[in-house]
Amino acid sequence: MAEQKLTEIEARAVRQATGGGRTLAASMPRLILEARRVAATVIHGLHGRRRAGRGENFWQYRRFVSGEPAQNVDWRRSARDDHLYVREREWEASHTIWIWPDRSPSMAFASKLVTDSKLDRALVIAFALAEILVQGGERVGVPGLMLPTASRNVIEKMAEAIIHDPAERASLPPLFAPAPLSEVIVLSDLWSEEADIRRTLGQLSGTGAHGHVVQIVDPVEETFPFSGRIEFIDPEDGHSVTVGRAETLRADYVAEIARFRAEIRAETDRLGWSFAIHRTDRPASELLLVLHSRMGVAARTSLVANRNVLAQPGSAA
């Protein structure tokens, strides 16, 4: 009997996976159009990710720092007042950003309070962010699925790679070695073991890459508005649990979610990563603006810190 029940659960999981793949392929054109609309809306309010570095275009003047080579001084600008100035150029080397949209079964969930599933929202954000970054001269890739590209049709490339991906993807990105100072964006509901999350983030940050973790949740996953006799089904393995009075679990559920997020936030803080929570009843543009404002901050902070250390008298080169 137990073997028969397990077979039924496996069969149901296969049907759900097959149907989910067909649904994703059918909805992809809509998601691409939505991503382009959101990207176009957001990009008008952005000022780019300009930073100093090697390049040909003038960016700004800054004060000369004691210890720098004298040939860095722009004497024409410095002659206007009593300070020495350096002419900085804009950094033109492309930056690599890896975006991981969680496509595990739990992401297909959508309550009656929203119109988009967590998966739909993750893909819209991933596509829109890729569009914005490529327009800014960056390269975007998907771990284990698509190498970094600066192609103008990056959304179509990502969508095609996802639709034709035969592998069953876990909630967290596969282990890989991002280059130092590259960035990793994890868009997931994070319904994984805490140890697995720590291990994944630790491995990714171990190469010197910076990152941003976004937990995408449905509104009912925040408030647990269930009462009475409820059957909860795990979308990952198909197992179910029936609760007689679901409302009695609400306080413990909310407390556990708060504890879990505090642990994840502490881990991202320790690694120098950022952590954000996005509800699917909120506009996707809100998250895009937050992500764009945070991207590059850690890398620029590291570069400035290194420059200041080198400028100190007696510091090693």
Q: Which of 209, 213, 7 is nearest to 101 (CA)?
A: 213
Residue 133: predicted pLDDT: 93
Q: What is the pTM of this model?
A: 0.74
- The pLDDT-based confidence of 196 (bands split at 50, 70, 90) is very high
Q: Which residues of 252-291 are buried (b: 16+ CB within 10 A; e: fewer)?
A: eeeeebeeeeeebbebbeebebbbbbbbbbeebbebbeeb
What's the average model confidence in pLDDT over 288-312?
Answer: 59
Q: According to the model, what pLDDT value does residue 53 have?
A: 47
Q: Where are the domains of the chain?
A: 2-49+95-305, 58-91
- Greater confidence (296 vs 310) lies with 296
User: Is the pLDDT higher at 310 or at 44?
Assistant: 44
Distance separating alpha carbons of residues 115 and 273, to the nearest angstrom: 30
| Identity of the residue numbered 289 | L
Distance in angstroms (rounded) separating the CA atoms of residues 164 and 315: 53
Residue 153 pLDDT > 80, yes or no? yes
Name which of 32, 156, 162 is nearest 107 in CA terms.
162
Average pLDDT of the residues in 153-176: 92
Residue 267 has pLDDT above 70, yes or no: yes
231 confidence band (pLDDT: 50, 70, 90): confident
| Contact criterion met (CB below 8 Å) for 138 and 95 | yes
Q: What's the pLDDT tens digit per position in 65-115?
A: 777 777 778 888 888 888 888 776 644 456 899 999 999 999 999 999 999
Question: 297, 298, 288, 299: which is closest to 46 by C-alpha?
Answer: 288
User: Which residues contact residue 245 at a Cβ distance below 8 angstroms, ignoring those fewer than 6 apart?
Assistant: 227, 228, 229
Alpha-carbon torsion (214, 200, 109, 22), positive or negative: positive
Percent of the chain with pLDDT over 90: 51
Q: Which of 41-55, 186-200, 205-219, 234-248 shows the lowest mean pLDDT across its residues?
A: 41-55
Which pLDDT score, from 0 to 100, does residue 308 have?
Answer: 42
Average pLDDT over residues 125-142: 94
Average pLDDT of 204-227? 93
Rounded-to-integer distance, Cα 58 and Cα 53, Å: 10
The predicted structure's pLDDT at residue 295: 85
Distance CA 119, CA 186 (A): 13
Structure tokens at 254: 């909310």
Checking if the pLDDT of 16 tops 50, the result is no
- Categorize the per-residue pLDDT at 119 as very low, low, confident or very high, splitting at 50, 70 and 90: very high
